[in-house]
Amino acid sequence: MLSIDSKYIQMVGFRLRNFKRKKDYLWNFSCPICGDSQKNKLKARGYVFQKGQDLFYTCHNCGIGLNLANLLKHIDPNLHKEYTLERYTSGKTNNSNLANTVLNISPPKFDKVEKQKTFDFADWCDKLPEGHFCLDYLSKRQIPKEYYSKLLFTSHYKQFCDKLIPNHEKQIIDDARLIIPFYNEYNELIAISGRALETSDKTLRYITIRTEESDKKLVYGMDRIKLSETVKIVEGPIDSLFLHNCLASGDANLTAVGNSISAGKKVLIYDNEPRNKDIVKMMQDAIKLGHNIVIWPNTIEGKDINEMIMNGHTIDEIERIISSNTMSGLEAQTAFVFWKKV
């Protein structure tokens, strides 16, 4: 019952760091389970929220989901006993908030944080003047122009990072980079990845920094996909811009992305590198775990989606190849044996 639940979360509030009431039936505080940030004591990523006629808890850092009873039990076992007794004697018992279980619940969709429209030391690529060398880079890689408004350019990546994330600890060269912003499903900026536009043997091609600490898998594209549809998962954020309803891992650990989302169907699309031992091993593991994966035909040219596009394959052609070469189980294992070269 909401009145009883609200009473007890207010009673325990003084024990919770950064506790505050955001609005009716929504409270925010530092997570008492994972401790939230160990470096910034002002971080508060735990939320108690309304679902039906009860209150539940979730943490955006560790991802845990609890009913209010189990949250109270963790914080104060004596108060938890009082709470369960009052719920019982009120005649408003509800298994969801009295059962001794950890729930697998989806976090609530709070009011979205509007995407930042301007950044210091950077400009959106669709606002760059004609002939700008960053536009030449995007054109050379054939990145769809519809995504220019979602990418940034900076001449001073270090200054950009220092201003946006003052407490970061990465060593950064103040060079020119294409910036790929990562947003979560609530349109909150969670990371930035800077792609060097001029590379050498000593240059890190990508430098990625989170806006706050988190143990969650970093995923690109959560702000623009539909989980009700088939979700494709690739390695690189730029590759994901060419495919419909596609996420990017930022590395070759595609199964971690697949395990972090709740979608009807997920398709893992590894780079087309049959001689890469790491990719071969991860594809083999994905097949054993029962994932849907793409086994590239030997007629396709290019190691990844972007390279395939640059080699003359169209987006529609690649989508058709993905659709007709998505498989799992014995079919995937058989095709995989003929695909790998190591």
Contact 243, 237 (CB under 8 A): no
Tokens at 192, concatenated? 């930035």
Q: Measured between alpha carbons, how far is 332 from 323 in angstroms, rounded to an integer?
A: 13
Length of the chain: 342
SS3 (DSSP) at 216 = coil
Planar angle of CA 30, 31, 33, nearest 5 degrees: 150
Rg value, the chain, Cα: 23
Domains of the chain, earliest start first:
2-98 (3.90.580), 123-210 (3.90.980.10), 231-339 (3.40.1360)
Distance (Å) of CA 60 to CA 7, 84, 99, 123, 290 = 24, 26, 23, 29, 28
Q: Measured between alpha carbons, how far is 17 from 30 in angstroms, rounded to an integer?
A: 5
SS3 (DSSP) at 3 = helix
pLDDT recorded at residue 312 = 95
The model's pTM is 0.68
Contact 234, 240 (CB under 8 A): yes
pLDDT recorded at residue 91 = 65
Give the strands of the sheet with 177-183, arranged side by side.
123-124, 152-154, 177-183, 189-196, 206-210
pLDDT recorded at residue 328 = 96
How large is the greatest C-alpha to C-alpha distance in the chain, in angstroms? 73
Q: In the Cβ-directed half-sphere of 259, how many Cα atoms lie within 13 Å?
A: 10
pLDDT recorded at residue 94 = 52
Quickly list H helices, 21-132. Answer: 68-75, 77-89, 95-98
pLDDT recorded at residue 144 = 96
Tokens at 23, concatenated? 């609005």
Instruction: Note down pLDDT in tens along the chain; length 342 residues.
Output: 688 999 999 999 988 999 999 888 999 999 999 888 777 778 888 999 988 888 999 998 888 888 999 999 999 988 989 998 888 887 655 545 554 444 454 444 444 344 567 899 999 999 999 999 999 999 999 999 999 999 999 999 999 999 998 878 788 989 999 999 999 888 889 999 999 998 776 678 899 999 877 778 899 999 999 988 999 999 999 999 999 999 999 788 899 999 888 878 999 999 999 999 999 999 999 999 999 999 999 989 899 999 999 999 999 999 999 999 999 999 999 999 999 986
Q: Measured between alpha carbons, how far is 203 from 156 in angstroms, rounded to an integer?
A: 15
From 273, 280, 283, select the one nearest 332 (Cα to Cα).
Answer: 283
Element (H, E) at 284: helix 277-288
